[in-house]
Chains A and B, each alone.
Chain A
Amino acid sequence: QKEVEQNSGPLSVPEGAIASLNCTYSDRGSQSFFWYRQYSGKSPELIMFIYSNGDKEDGRFTAQLNKASQYVSLLIRDSQPSDSATYLCAVYNQGGKLIFGQGTELSVKP
């Protein structure tokens, strides 16, 4: 079992729709969770971090964390073609290492 798992996609949504990206993790002791966006040929850029159970909103982005289910998600409202990228879920394990999922490719169609 991988430490952090994401559906590789591609996930295709129409412009203006809600994109839902999901991530599960195996280390029950993990405390810190991050979403990064990576455009093709570029490096990852931070979108959001979340530490507590529940929802955290920042503009069009909402991160959701459920530690009991070991599940973290990212919702993108009013998706735009410029949101087309690979979204990386990252989790610190109890050893203090930041572990990434394989990323979900999102395509927003005009």
Chain B
Amino acid sequence: DAGVTQSPTHLIKTRGQHVTLRCSPISGHKSVSWYQQVLGQGPQFIFQYYEKEERGRGNFPDRFSARQFPNYSSELNVNALLLGDSALYLCASSLGAPQETQYFGPGTRLLVL
């Protein structure tokens, strides 16, 4: 079975631009979560979606937004990029019950110049 997939794998943007990252969960998984991981730190929670509804939001500015589609895939959008947004963006999927194991995709590495 295919695992969590993310696209693109790498991305270079300049300050002020907008970026869209995409994620497809494991087949049968209905929940997707997004994390930001900067070098030397653990992943930091951004959003969780379940059945197209936002279930949780981390401490990130409104420049960050996300959505989930009927096929359970998800997009993370970041507007007005800052240098500090450079990070590895991780998507994780789970079946959907609270406090379940999350399985991570390979991530998208974003560099903002």
- Chain B residues with CB below 8 A from A97, complex form: 45, 48, 56, 58
Contact A42 B106 (CB under 8 A): yes
**How distant is A15 from chain B, measured CB to nearest CB, in Å?**
26
Q: Are B43 and A100 in contact (CB under 8 A)?
A: yes
Given A32-B99, A92-B99; A102-B45 close (CB under 8 Å): no
* In the complex, chain B residues 79-109 whose Cβ is within 8 Å of any chain A Cβ: 88, 90, 98-107
Interface residues on A, range: 20 to 34
Is B65 in contact with chain A by the CB < 8 A criterion? no
Interface size on B, residues (CB 8 A): 24
Mark each residue of chain B from 12 to 47: 1 if its CB lies under 8 Å from any CB of chain A, else 0. Answer: 000000000000000000000101000011111100
Q: With both chains docked as a complex, state the minimum distance between the C-beta of B52 and any C-beta of chain A, in angstroms.
A: 17
Separation in Å of the B3 CB from the closest CB of chain A? 10
A46, A100, A103: the one contacting B44 at CB < 8 Å is A100
A101 to B56, CA, bound (A): 19
Give the nearest-CB partner of A2 in chain B. B42
B25 to chain A, nearest CB (A): 14
Interface residues of A (CB under 8 A from B): 4, 8, 31-32, 34, 36, 42-46, 49, 88, 90, 92, 95-103
